[in-house]
Chains A and B, each alone.
Chain A
Amino acid sequence: DAKTTQPPSMDCAEGRAANLPCNHSTISGNEYVYWYRQIHSQGPQYIIHGLKNNETNEMASLIITEDRKSSTLILPHATLRDTAVYYCIVRAVGIKAAGNKLTFGGGTRVLVKP
């Protein structure tokens, strides 16, 4: 699986949009971009994923650049409960040899401040 690069930490203001960047310049054509977050003392939680089109769900939006070398996770109205470590992961789907495993990098530690 391709590697990702994320800033180690960032602060966000409560109620404002939080934009979390991720670089994945070596992504392959069959690799999806996944985002997870881990709130303190809990297991990681799936947020969203996408291949090349922008995606939106009830939690967040995912914007993927046209060349797919980077993406941005957008939390539209950050709350204090969004304080967590956010992981951007690229993963090949449907290829048995890769084992469909998720490989976690360092993530971005997001602190939402009042």
Chain B
Amino acid sequence: SAVISQKPSRDICQRGTSLTIQCQVDSQVTMMFWYRQQPGQSLTLIATANQGSEATYESGFVIDKFPISRPNLTFSTLTVSNMSPEDSSIYLCSADRSNYGYTFGSGTRLTVV
């Protein structure tokens, strides 16, 4: 299956700042996704990153807070903007490998202080 590199693996950020998370896939994929996992919780889908068009956001997530870029078929970024302590979570990207399921990155553990 595809290998996904995600960075940074962790960061501690000041409130009010922004952090951009990068996700690199080792092969071209049609669809990439960004998830959030709050402490002790399951994964929640933030948005689908579409190549060549705007990302599709799930209910409760907005572009101004979580802008996403997808410049090509192997790369995507998620920015967490104007951070507050409530944004402290693990953020994961994943790629759709069609019938063989999704592959996930190892996640970015974000702490906002």
Q: How far is the CB of A104 from chain B (nearest CB, A)?
A: 4
Contact A107 B42 (CB under 8 A): yes
**A101 B103 Cβ-Cβ under 8 A:** no
Complex alpha-carbon distance, A101 and B59, angstroms? 14
Q: Mark A29-50, 1 if CB is under 8 A from B, else 0.
A: 0000010100001111110010
Given contacts A43-B92, A43-B107, whether A102 and B42 have CB atoms under 8 Å apart is no
Contact of B96 among A100, A104, A107 (CB under 8 A): A100
Interface residue B1 (Cβ < 8 Å from any Cβ of A): yes
What is the number of contacts between chain A and chain B, taking CB atoms within 8 Å?
51
Interchain CB contact under 8 A, A46 and B101: yes
Q: Is B75 part of the contact surface with A, judged by Cβ < 8 Å? A: no
Flag whether A114 is at the interface (Cβ < 8 A). no
Q: Which residues of A contact B42 (CB under 8 A)?
A: 85, 87, 104-107
Report B64 CB to chain A, min CB distance, Å: 21
Complex alpha-carbon distance, A101 and B96, angstroms: 8
Partner of B1, one of A34, A44, A46, A105: A46
Q: How far is the CB of B106 from chain A (nearest CB, A)?
A: 5
Q: Which residues of B contact A36 (CB under 8 A)?
A: 101-102
- A interface residues, Cβ below 8 angstroms from B: 34, 36, 41-46, 49, 85, 87, 93, 99-107
Besides A43-B104, A101-B45, 15 more A-B contacts (Cβ < 8 Å) are A34-B101, A36-B102, A42-B106, A42-B107, A43-B92, A43-B105, A44-B104, A46-B102, A87-B42, A100-B96, A101-B48, A102-B33, A102-B94, A104-B42, A104-B44
